[in-house]
Amino acid sequence: MDLKLLEETLDDLGEPGYRFDQVWGWTAKGVASYDEMGNVPASVRAALTERVPFSTLELTDQQVSQIDGTVKALFHTTKDRRPVEAVMMSFKDGRSSLCLSSQSGCPLTCTFCATGTMKFGRNLTHSEILDQALHFRRMRAVDHVVFMGMGEPMMNIDNVLATCAKLPDVGVTNRRTAISTVGWLPGIERLIDEKMPVRLALSLHAPDSELRSQIMPVNERYDMEAVLEACTRYGEKTNRDIFIEYVMLERTNDEIFQAHQLGRLLDPKRFKVNLIPYNPTGSIYDASSRQQIHDFRTVLEGYGLRTTVRVNRGRDIDGACGQLAAKAMADADDPAAADERAAAAIDAAA
Ligand code: SAH
């Protein structure tokens, strides 16, 4: 729901200020239409149905993993038909976690990630991000959100933070919200100035700068040393651990000497490591073996680093980390236009 349009429309209808809170309150609780909003007068409900579309996204496709019940939704923005994907993971203990997208496509070109290979569309508005969460909220209660879907959230930090401000109404507190970044420094600095205690995760993926630049070109712009320093400051300010994400690529970043490098690099009091088994995306890499991941982890633990291995979910529906590329949608416009948009987005966010 376009919350700005909602506000303007209610204003235009001469409705009292509390009407916005009523309508948003129902929406955040997962009702499926204006008609279910008991305390909103019928005439207002009718006017809203006419004038404010219930979602800024149209659901195009939805797949459920046969393996673990993970749900992947493909939407298109109603405004300009940009593809957007989001994922819901439900766990045995009753928790359910949403993986949301902040951009349609991604302007960065991490070499192992499928999203970077699709055409970049644009930053999503905060209503378009929120509508992903509301879609799943209409299916069940949700309690965790990670910004690990398509795109680089720190390049769209204003809209991401505006979403975080509304998520508690949907059932997800800031403390249960995590923003994952490639290390886009201006966004991290901006987060440090905020008061929202969201969790920060850094996609590091290499223990030294040279290798990192090879597999994540963004490291040339914002070097990992400066990024780790900014993450440390955020950790100190919020008194929360910072997650390091590290995708395990065979014979690229998974050697034992690299585990030692990483162990020396990270302060175990501040950082936790999450090793991510590589999901096939048609890139040049192969996945590390389970044994290699195990051995790498053992070395890190020797340095006192709390280390987990991510359980990959939704692989059979291309819904796992790095696999979101909106395969179902071949973007119609030409690649040069997409490249231009990507370059403009990078300039705007830098
Ligand atoms: N741009 C942000 C948010 C996306 S998060 C970021 O990169 O942090 C997506 C996570 O999945 C990141 O940690 C990313 O590095 C990881 N990932 C990307 N491709 C992957 C793949 N093929 N297999 C496993 N993880 C991958």
Owner of token pair 């400051």: 233
C-alpha–C-alpha distance, residues 72 and 59, integer Å: 11
Q: 87 CB under 6 A from ligand 1? A: no
In the chain, the percentage of residues whose pLDDT exceeds 70 is 98
Whether the pLDDT of residue 63 is over 60: the answer is yes
Cα torsion 335, 327, 128, 222 to 10°: value is: -60
Confidence of residue 330 (pLDDT cuts 50, 70, 90): very low
Q: 159 CB under 6 A from ligand 1? A: no
Strand partners, 75: 59, 84
Nearest CA to ligand 1 atom 19: 322
Predicted pLDDT at 157 = 97
- From the CA of 147, give the closest atom in ligand 1: 3
Predicted pLDDT at 110 = 95
Q: What is the mean pLDDT of residues 3-23?
A: 97
pLDDT digits (tens, 9 = 90+) for 164-222: 999 999 999 999 999 999 999 999 999 999 989 999 999 999 999 999 999 999 999 99
Predicted pLDDT at 327 = 61
Domains within the chain, CATH numbers bracketed: 1-54 (1.10.150), 55-349 (3.20.20.70)
Provide CB contacts within 8 A for 34, sequence distance 6+.
Answer: 23, 40, 45, 48, 49, 54
Cα torsion 305, 311, 315, 320 to 10°: value is: -50
CB atoms near residue 254 (< 10 Å): 21
Whether the pLDDT of residue 235 is over 90: the answer is yes
CB atoms near residue 236 (< 10 Å): 12
Ligand 1 centroid to 72 CA: how many Å? 16
Ligand 1 centroid to 237 CA: how many Å? 25
Confidence of residue 293 (pLDDT cuts 50, 70, 90): very high
- From the CA of 245, give the closest atom in ligand 1: 13
Predicted pLDDT at 4 = 95
Predicted pLDDT at 216 = 97
Which has the minimum average pLDDT: 1-15, 113-127, 163-177?
113-127
Ligand 1 centroid to 325 CA: how many Å? 12
Predicted pLDDT at 329 = 45
- From the CA of 202, give the closest atom in ligand 1: 8
Whether the pLDDT of residue 334 is over 90: the answer is no
C-alpha–C-alpha distance, residues 276 and 332, integer Å: 33
C-alpha–C-alpha distance, residues 293 and 254, integer Å: 7
What is the overall mean pLDDT for the chain?
94
Mutation probe of ligand 1 site: the residue of 222, 276, 318 with most atoms within 8 A of C-beta: 276
Whether the pLDDT of residue 320 is over 90: the answer is no
Question: By C-alpha distance, which of 341, 323, 255 is closest to 292?
Answer: 255
Predicted pLDDT at 336 = 82
In the chain, the percentage of residues whose pLDDT exceeds 90 is 83
Ligand 1 centroid to 81 CA: how many Å? 24
What is the distance of C-alpha 253 from the center of its chain? 24
* CA distance to 26, 157, 159, 167, 342, per residue, from 147 (Å): 24, 11, 12, 12, 19
Nearest CA to ligand 1 atom 17: 322
**Is 257 or 336 the better-scoring residue by pLDDT?**
257
Residues annotated as catalytic (active site), given as ranges: 85, 321
Question: By C-alpha distance, which of 146, 162, 213, 157 is closest to 184?
Answer: 157
**Is 325 or 341 the better-scoring residue by pLDDT?**
341
Q: What is the mean pLDDT of residues 270-285?
A: 94
- How do strand 71-77 and strand 57-64 relate by DSSP bridges? antiparallel
Q: pTM for this one?
A: 0.95
pLDDT digits (tens, 9 = 90+) for 89-120: 998 888 999 999 999 999 999 999 988 888 89
